């Protein structure tokens, strides 16, 4: 434990370590209703500090709980209709003995019998649906809360976890080739973060929901998302757009799909590496950013509409 804290302090700084510790204070268990006709089975804890899928799941389920009774479990219990939220570590044989809907969030599906047997299949993006070649799947975008924060200015931000698959190893070269006022908003690997302290302002870990206000506080006019592994959705892209900030990213995955569909950013070929991203940063001009960003309530209502279409009573 002490070693972990020391690594966070060395990589992200003392203030970030305190924010991480303080996040646990704000965690609370999900209020589950035992009498709900649908059981949402989640393989991961619904706590915001874990990021990504837990964040989007909790936000949607909390919105749904204002419209219907919601029951959440980490395993199949009883004989209710199951909504399987993700496929990591799932007991496929147990699922095949139930009536179930499945939400595919990532690349962890290993047994396509789950698709064949499901009442319905939900994806966060057309990119992921096409990856699994499942044309009957429904696309429901995870939502982010609406915000009144709008950001503009000269500063540039990398947002997210500074890890190799997120393009963290490319950051020193990108910053060197596209100099400016850089901010690193997010935690990550100590060995990738430490060199960045000399060339950027490393903010470190931030609490979920705070990104639009951070972008406005630091006068961020551009967000850089150089993931070298394709994203299946990207909540960060939604949050940047919600604050009026365009994005530079590599041309693959759901980020590229969404930018092509809605605008609000520029795409570099993946094989152009740091040089391609830096060139887009240096050449950027004014661009329209999408204003209609899906919210958790939008996702909740769309999910309940699917239940009705599939003949599943939700309340």
Answer yes or no: do 276 and 161 share one domain. Answer: yes
Answer yes or no: do 175 and 263 share one domain. Answer: yes
Residue 268 domain boundaries: 155-283
Answer yes or no: do 304 and 238 share one domain. Answer: no
Here the CATH number for the domain that contains residue 107 is 3.40.50
Q: The tokens of 13 are what? A: 């700084």
* CA distance linking residue 10 with residue 14, whole number of Å: 8
Confidence at residue 12, expressed as pLDDT on a 0 to 100 scale? 62
Here the CATH number for the domain that contains residue 231 is 3.40.50.2000
Question: Up-side HSE of residue 276: CA atoms within 13 Å toward CB?
Answer: 16
* CA distance linking residue 174 with residue 179, whole number of Å: 8
Confidence at residue 18, expressed as pLDDT on a 0 to 100 scale? 61
Q: Is residue 86 part of a domain?
A: yes
Answer yes or no: do 216 and 116 share one domain. Answer: no
Confidence at residue 1, expressed as pLDDT on a 0 to 100 scale? 47
Answer yes or no: do 45 and 121 share one domain. Answer: yes
Q: Of 39, 243, 60, 56, nearest to 157 (Cα)?
A: 243
Answer yes or no: do 159 and 277 share one domain. Answer: yes
Question: Can you say how many angstroms the Cα of residue 221 is from the centroid of all Cα atoms in its chain?
Answer: 21
Confidence at residue 23, expressed as pLDDT on a 0 to 100 scale? 61
Q: Is residue 288 part of a domain?
A: no
Give the total residue count for the chain: 315
For the chain, what is the domain count? 2
Answer yes or no: do 102 and 215 share one domain. Answer: no
Residue ranges of the chain with per-residue pLDDT less than 70: 1-30, 32, 45-52
Confidence at residue 208, expressed as pLDDT on a 0 to 100 scale? 80
Answer yes or no: do 267 and 187 share one domain. Answer: yes
Question: What would the pLDDT profile of 148-168 be if each residue is shown by its tens digit?
Answer: 999 999 999 999 999 999 999
Please tell me the pTM assigned to this model.
0.90
Q: Of 75, 70, 65, nearest to 43 (Cα)?
A: 75
Phi/psi at 23 (nearest 5 deg)?
Answer: -60, -35
Percent of the chain, pLDDT > 70? Answer: 87
Answer yes or no: do 251 and 160 share one domain. Answer: yes
Answer yes or no: do 77 and 110 share one domain. Answer: yes
Q: Is residue 11 part of a domain?
A: no
Confidence at residue 56, expressed as pLDDT on a 0 to 100 scale? 87
Answer yes or no: do 174 and 275 share one domain. Answer: yes
Answer yes or no: do 88 and 110 share one domain. Answer: yes
Q: Is residue 18 part of a domain?
A: no
Q: Is residue 42 part of a domain?
A: yes
Q: Of 34, 33, 58, 31, nearest to 45 (Cα)?
A: 58
Distances (CA, A) of 290 to 98, 186, 240, 260, 315: 40, 24, 10, 12, 34
């Amino acid at each position: 434990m002490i070693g972990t804290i020391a690594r966070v302090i060395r990589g992200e700084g003392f203030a970030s370590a305190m924010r991480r510790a303080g996040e646990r204070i704000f965690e609370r268990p999900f209020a589950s209703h035992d009498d709900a006709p649908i059981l949402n089975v989640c393989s991961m804890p619904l706590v915001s500090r874990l990021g990504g899928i837990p964040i989007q799941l909790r936000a949607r389920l909390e919105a749904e709980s204002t419209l219907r009774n919601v029951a959440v479990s980490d395993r199949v219990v009883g004989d209710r209709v199951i909504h399987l939220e993700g496929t990591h570590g799932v007991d496929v044989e147990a699922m095949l003995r139930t009536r179930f809907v499945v939400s595919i969030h990532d690349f962890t599906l290993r047994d396509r019998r789950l698709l064949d047997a499901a009442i319905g299949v939900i994806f966060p993006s057309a990119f992921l649906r096409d990856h699994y070649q499942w044309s009957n799947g429904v696309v429901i975008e995870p939502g982010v809360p609406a915000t009144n924060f709008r950001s503009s200015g000269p500063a540039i931000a990398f947002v997210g976890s500074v890890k190799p698959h997120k393009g963290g190893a490319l950051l020193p070269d990108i910053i060197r080739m596209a100099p400016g006022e850089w901010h690193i908003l997010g935690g990550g690997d100590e060995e990738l973060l430490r060199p960045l302290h000399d060339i950027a302002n490393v903010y470190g870990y931030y609490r979920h929901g705070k990104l639009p206000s951070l972008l406005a506080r630091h006068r961020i006019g551009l967000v850089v998302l150089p993931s070298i592994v394709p994203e299946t959705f990207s909540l960060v892209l939604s949050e940047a757009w919600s604050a009026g900030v365009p994005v530079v990213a590599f041309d693959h995955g759901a980020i590229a799909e969404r930018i092509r569909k809605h605008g609000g950013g520029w795409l570099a070929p993946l094989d152009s590496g740091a040089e391609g991203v830096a060139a887009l940063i240096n050449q950027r001009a004014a661009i329209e950013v999408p204003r209609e960003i899906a919210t958790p309530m939008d996702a909740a209502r769309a999910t309940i509409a699917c239940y009705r279409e599939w003949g599943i009573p939700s309340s």
